[in-house]
Amino acid sequence: MARQARQKSSTGIYHIMLRGIDGRNIFLDDEDKTVFIEKLLKAKEKAKFKVYAYCLMDNHVHLLIEENEEIGKSIKRITVGYVQWHNNKYGRTGHLFQNRYNSEVIETENYFITVLRYIHQNPVKAKMVNKMEDYLWSSYNQYSASYQNKSNYISTEIVNEYFTKQDTFEKYMNQTNQDECLEYRPVKKYTDEELRKKIIKEFKLNISEVGDLTPQERDRMIKTIYCNMRVSIRQLVRILGLGKSIIEKAIKNETRTMSNETIETSPCHTGLIH
């Protein structure tokens, strides 16, 4: 089956997530993270794209960038360079990153700053640090430097114009929220028969009757099963006997009400990036 074409951003700005293959760690020590940032900045200089934010976690990376060429070329340039270095260091071969990176378009200023906050809060929400400024492997401190007229290597102009003072920037970055932006949703493995039995047991549900529910009830049930059971859309299609488009639409409609382990994008688009 052909892959679905990626959505094209009218602003050229994308939120990108790179994941380790099979959930493995991409970075094993601080040197690894340092080298990845070097590869990112080298690719930036070559392709002339803008980096607005980044966060390097152990098994995945978040980037907020504006393309100057086809974005896939730049991502490949970053990952191939890093994988060659990583494999040589650790004496391994083969893939390190999941083949297809995740991406979402950034069309508005409001969503831009939402994604920026989400990226910077990743280490805090993962309980790796208590404060964003304590995490050395995100762009948060680069923004702090920009407000103090210190050198930095990311593009801060959108944020500096939006938040003219550092304290307002920090206040927004530290707001408690339920932001869900390309969040990684690990899929649990069940055989079809195991999943049928679990759905019947946990939801007291006659699976054959799901299609007879009203659209609202059906969508609510689909979302509940998807969220709680953490299974793939493909398996739900088989188990529930419904079309893929129905399953996807039900899940996407109210993504923000689901757990923070979904990978759908937030629909809060209300302004324009100039």
226/146 same-domain check = no
Average pLDDT over residues 160-169: 96
30/110 same-domain check = yes
169/200 same-domain check = no
Average pLDDT over residues 57-85: 93
1-14 per-position pLDDT tens digit: 445 667 788 899 99
d(CA 228, CA 238) in angstroms, rounded, equals 18
Q: Does residue 273 have a pLDDT over 70?
A: no
139-152 per-position pLDDT tens digit: 999 999 999 999 99
Residue 128, pLDDT score:
96
Place of tokens 């969503």: 111
Q: ∠ CA(11), CA(13), CA(15), 5° rounding? A: 145
45/127 same-domain check = yes
Residue 39, pLDDT score:
97
Nearest to 148 by CA among 115, 170, 176: 170
241 domain residue, yes or no: yes
172-190 per-position pLDDT tens digit: 999 988 777 876 555 677 8
Average pLDDT, the chain: 86
265 domain residue, yes or no: no
Rounded to 5 degrees, what are φ and ψ at 48? 60, 35
Number of Cα atoms under 13 Å in the Cβ half of residue 163 = 20
Contact 251, 233 (CB under 8 A): yes
35/166 same-domain check = yes
17/118 same-domain check = yes
Q: How many domains does the chain have?
A: 2
Other C-beta atoms closer than 10 Å to the C-beta of 238 total 12
d(CA 14, CA 71) in angstroms, rounded, equals 9
Question: Dihedral, CA atoms, 257, 105, 15, 72, nearest 10 degrees?
Answer: 140
d(CA 188, CA 232) in angstroms, rounded, equals 8
Contact 188, 195 (CB under 8 A): no
Domain of residue 140, CATH code: 3.30.70.1290
d(CA 62, CA 6) in angstroms, rounded, equals 17
Identify the band that residue 228 occupies on the pLDDT scale cut at 50, 70 and 90. Answer: confident
d(CA 191, CA 180) in angstroms, rounded, equals 29
20 domain residue, yes or no: yes
Residue 178, pLDDT score:
77
Task: Spell out the alpha helix ranges (H) of 156-243.
Answer: 157-162, 166-173, 192-203, 215-229, 233-240
Q: Does residue 274 have a pLDDT over 50?
A: no
Residue 186, pLDDT score:
56
264 domain residue, yes or no: no
203/91 same-domain check = no
Residue that finishes a domain, picked among 173, 207, 226: 173
178 domain residue, yes or no: no
Residue 153, pLDDT score:
93
Structural domain that includes position 98: 13-173
Q: Does residue 257 have a pLDDT over 70?
A: no
Other C-beta atoms closer than 10 Å to the C-beta of 231 total 19
